[in-house]
């Protein structure tokens, strides 16, 4: 039981924003050290796949036991699962998908040819025909976990993948959860040693010199990695026609169904992402013709979206994020969720709409979760610290609890193998259905 606290940053403004990124070398949330090329024209950014990749390895069959109930116990159990996992061997040969890792920066390009798009669709349709015959109504999607190769995100990715496999098995062969790829931004696109444990696709992260121009805002590597994935034929290599974009701190508690349609994505509504009339001057500058009422309170994760829609959206998502970060007014206004705003404004610019789904819960000590809370949600997003006094009452806002469960405590090392259970009276503690 003892906790090793490596960092305890807090931020809150009453609107339940996500906490600040973990401490990582001058790189922001991803620990990446690079920045993009100057933003090019924003309106018509597109990517053309430069090569077709081999098929992504399928995830191995996970155990099918259901997850436990309360919030703190769920996150503690997940962290213990990662800590208990044995160390993986160092990188052997990179996967087929990783072989094109250290390429050049993405640049705007023309649309893929109609013939190429048709051929890809035909191939994917043939590959999934047997699934459709055996499971009428099944619309599978591919899990795409965006991350980087730091220790901080490696242990989170292992937890996420464990629960992905667990819930895919629970859904059975007719569930919508299909294949899985960990999309990793790393230095020079080099493998990080976990590719033997989970299917991985490596792309380069921005260099220190590049990212410096953008205030070392490392989360820009997220859209940059998706654009590189698209440019290298990653989407064409997936037999599923839909993608679920996940973050490393997503724990699946129930099987996730496909909530999207070919033309309409499914996303989560963030309370701090509502666009108002005060945003209009920035929209006029960066997305002419878009009104604030067009912008939905969504980000790029959790997101279930068709491949053609994401393929179309990704370059503009990246370019808008870069342009917003360079603008002092936009940077101050959007702050540490600027890349999420880049996504939502890009979607509005292209007329892409989302159905808003309550697919995840983001609890803290004040969330009032009860045993069985997970039955109403598919995703536990452990972005907030869960802070309690030893008597089971919440510690207070922006303070570290006498009992504390926060991913930021483990920015440079794995969580301990065995974690302390929540205090009596707290969610998941003795007397509340927990340990």
Confidence of residue 245 (pLDDT cuts 50, 70, 90): very high
Please, what is the average pLDDT of the chain?
74
pLDDT value for 83: 41
Average confidence (pLDDT) over 361-367: 78
pLDDT value for 429: 56
**16 with 205: CB under 8 angstroms?**
no
**286 with 42: CB under 8 angstroms?**
yes
Q: Which two tokens stand for residue 175?
A: 């569930």
Confidence of residue 223 (pLDDT cuts 50, 70, 90): very high
Range scoring the smallest mean pLDDT among 126-135, 219-228, 268-277, 351-360 = 126-135
List Cβ neighbours of 119 (8 Å cut-off, separation of 6 or more): none
**415 with 82: CB under 8 angstroms?**
yes
Mind listing the pLDDT tens digit for each residue in 202-219? 999 999 999 999 999 999
List Cβ neighbours of 121 (8 Å cut-off, separation of 6 or more): none
Instruction: Decide which of 127 and 281 is more confident.
Output: 281
Distances in whole angstroms, Cα of residue 274 to Cα of each of 42, 122, 277, 296, 346: 23, 39, 10, 7, 15
- d(Cα 401, Cα 5) in Å, to the nearest integer? 12
pLDDT value for 53: 31
Residue 269 pLDDT greater than 70, yes or no: yes
What one-character-per-residue DSSP string does 15-82 give? S-PPPPPPP-TTTTTTT----PPPP--STT-------PPPPPPPPPPPP-PPP-SSHHHHHHHHHHHH
pLDDT value for 240: 98
Mind listing the pLDDT tens digit for each residue in 75-125? 444 444 444 333 322 222 223 232 232 333 333 333 333 333 333 433 343
Would you say the pTM of this structure is higher than 0.85? no
Q: Beta partners for 202? A: 184
List Cβ neighbours of 372 (8 Å cut-off, separation of 6 or more): 69
**Length of the chain counted residue by residue:** 435
Mind listing the pLDDT tens digit for each residue in 301-343? 999 999 999 999 999 999 999 999 999 999 999 999 999 999 9
């Amino acid at each position: 039981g003892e906790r090793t606290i490596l960092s305890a940053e807090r931020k809150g403004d009453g609107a339940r924003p996500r906490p600040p990124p973990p401490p990582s070398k001058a790189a922001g949330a991803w620990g990446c050290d690079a920045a993009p090329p100057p933003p090019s024209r924003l309106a018509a950014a597109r990517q053309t796949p430069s090569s077709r990749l081999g098929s992504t390895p399928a995830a191995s069959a996970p155990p099918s036991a259901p997850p436990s109930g309360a919030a703190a116990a769920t996150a503690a159990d997940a962290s213990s699962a990662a800590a208990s996992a044995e160390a993986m061997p160092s990188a052997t040969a990179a996967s087929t998908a990783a072989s094109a890792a250290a390429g050049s920066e993405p640049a705007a390009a023309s649309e893929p040819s109609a013939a190429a798009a048709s051929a890809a669709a035909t191939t994917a349709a043939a590959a999934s025909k047997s699934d459709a015959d055996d499971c009428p109504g099944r619309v599978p999607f591919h899990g795409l976990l965006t991350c980087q190769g730091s220790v901080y995100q490696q242990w989170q990715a292992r937890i996420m993948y464990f629960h992905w496999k667990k819930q895919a098995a629970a859904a059975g062969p007719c569930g919508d959860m299909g294949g899985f790829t960990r999309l990793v931004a790393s230095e020079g696109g080099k493998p990080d040693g976990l590719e033997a444990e989970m299917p991985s696709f490596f792309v380069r992260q921005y260099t220190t010199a590049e990212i410096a121009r953008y205030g070392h805002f490392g989360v820009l590597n997220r859209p940059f990695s998706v654009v590189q994935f698209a440019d290298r034929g990653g989407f064409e290599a997936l037999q599923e026609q839909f993608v679920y974009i996940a973050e490393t701190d997503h724990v699946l508690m129930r099987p996730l169904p496909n909530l999207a349609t070919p033309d309409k994505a499914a996303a989560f509504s963030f309370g701090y992402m509502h666009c108002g009339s005060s945003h209009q001057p920035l929209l006029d500058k960066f997305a002419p013709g878009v009104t604030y009422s067009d912008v939905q309170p969504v980000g790029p994760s959790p997101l279930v979206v068709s491949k053609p829609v994401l393929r179309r959206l990704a370059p503009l998502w990246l370019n808008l994020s870069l342009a917003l970060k360079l603008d002092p007014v936009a940077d101050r206004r959007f702050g540490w969720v600027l890349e999420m705003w880049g996504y939502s404004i890009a979607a509005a610019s292209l007329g892409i709409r989302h159905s808003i789904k309550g697919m995840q819960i983001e609890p803290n000590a004040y969330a009032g979760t009860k045993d069985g809370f997970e039955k109403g949600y598919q995703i536990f997003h452990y972005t907030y610290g869960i802070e309690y006094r030893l008597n089971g009452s919440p510690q207070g806002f922006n303070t570290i609890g006498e009992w504390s469960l926060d991913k930021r405590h483990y920015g440079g090392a794995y969580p301990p193998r065995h974690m302390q259970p929540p205090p009596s009276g707290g969610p998941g503690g003795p007397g509340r259905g927990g340990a």
